[in-house]
């Protein structure tokens, strides 16, 4: 079976090596880590149109938030009817529950290439010299959960910083989402547990090479910055019959500069 990632990984290796080489005079041994961050930012720039579609979806959900609250209050004990009524509301107002996943899905090939690039011992039949690069003494190929058994706590400080930054980004993202589209007054246990699901990203990062973890942190920080700039809640929904008011962008979407 052909390796579909062979040529993309080879191309990415050339790009990363060239970028790291150009940054080395300025950043020294951290140049490769900076190359991962710049690579991720370049991908997000390319995906701006999809990001805009996702943000339009958030805008639509914010607009129907008061009606959603009322449906939850009326049908909380009847999950089937609850889903039916929510589906009807979303369909009537053009709300797509999947638009928010478009940037994530589009990034998957690039994430897979980055993961492969910092785990494969060879690229295009040649030794993978990127595996020798480090960040503050921690190899970019190191995986925290497995590194513990081989090197103990030697590389843990860098990983703990990464996990802490990621957790803060997740917390800010959840906090901002709750301000824009407040959760229903009454929630099931499952819904409350689902609120904690985004923190699973931190657990996920524990099983990734450091370079892939940098990719995740950068793309999530980018997403948070996009929503902070393009969606500006000026009043959140209160309990009872309060409504959601938002100051939202109009027109044909952002124009990258």
Express each pLDDT in 55-71 by its tens digit. 777 777 767 767 777 77
Structural domain includes residue 253: no
Q: Is residue 252 part of a domain?
A: no
Q: How confident is the model at residue 208 (pLDDT cuts 50, 70, 90)?
A: very high
Q: How many whole angstroms separate alpha carbon 71 and alpha carbon 143? A: 45
Tell me which H or E stretch contains 112: helix 102-117
The model's pTM is 0.77
156 domain-assigned: yes
Range 137-153 average pLDDT: 82
Domains held by the chain: number: 1
Burial of 91 by CB count in 10 Å (0-12 exposed, 13-18 middle, 19+ buried)? exposed
Q: Which range marks the domain in which residue 65 is found?
A: 6-240
Question: Does the residue 20 lie in any domain?
Answer: yes
Q: What average pLDDT does this structure show over 184-208? A: 76
CA–CA distance, 167 with 204 (Å, rounded to integer): 12
Q: What is the pLDDT of residue 216?
A: 95
- Is residue 101 one of the residues assigned to a domain? yes
Integer CA distances (angstroms), 60 to 11, 95, 183, 209, 242, in order: 39, 6, 15, 37, 17
The answer to the question of residue 110 being in a domain is: yes
Does residue 178 sit within a domain? yes
């Amino acid at each position: 079976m052909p390796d579909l990632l062979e040529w993309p990984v080879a191309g990415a290796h050339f790009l990363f090596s060239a970028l790291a080489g150009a940054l080395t005079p300025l950043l020294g041994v951290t140049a490769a880590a900076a190359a991962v961050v710049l690579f991720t930012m370049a991908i997000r720039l390319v995906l701006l149109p999809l990001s805009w579609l996702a943000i339009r979806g958030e805008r639509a959900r914010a607009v129907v938030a008061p009606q959603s609250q009322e449906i939850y209050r009326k049908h909380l004990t009847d999950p089937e009817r609850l889903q039916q009524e929510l589906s009807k509301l979303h369909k009537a107002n053009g709300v797509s529950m999947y638009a928010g996943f478009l940037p994530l899905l589009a990034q998957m090939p690039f994430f897979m290439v980055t993961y492969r690039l910092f785990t494969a011992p060879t690229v295009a039949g040649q030794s993978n010299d990127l595996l020798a690069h480090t960040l503050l003494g921690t190899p970019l190929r190191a995986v925290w959960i497995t590194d513990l058994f081989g090197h103990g706590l030697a590389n843990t400080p860098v990983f703990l910083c990464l996990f802490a930054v990621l957790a803060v980004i997740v917390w800010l993202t959840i906090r901002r989402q709750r301000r824009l589209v407040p959760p229903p007054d009454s929630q099931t246990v499952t819904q409350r547990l689902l609120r904690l699901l985004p923190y699973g990203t931190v657990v996920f990062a524990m099983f990734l090479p450091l370079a892939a973890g940098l990719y995740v942190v950068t793309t999530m920080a980018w997403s948070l910055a996009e929503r902070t700039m393009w969606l500006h809640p000026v009043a959140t929904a209160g309990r009872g019959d309060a409504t959601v008011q938002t100051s939202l962008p109009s027109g044909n979407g952002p124009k990258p500069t």
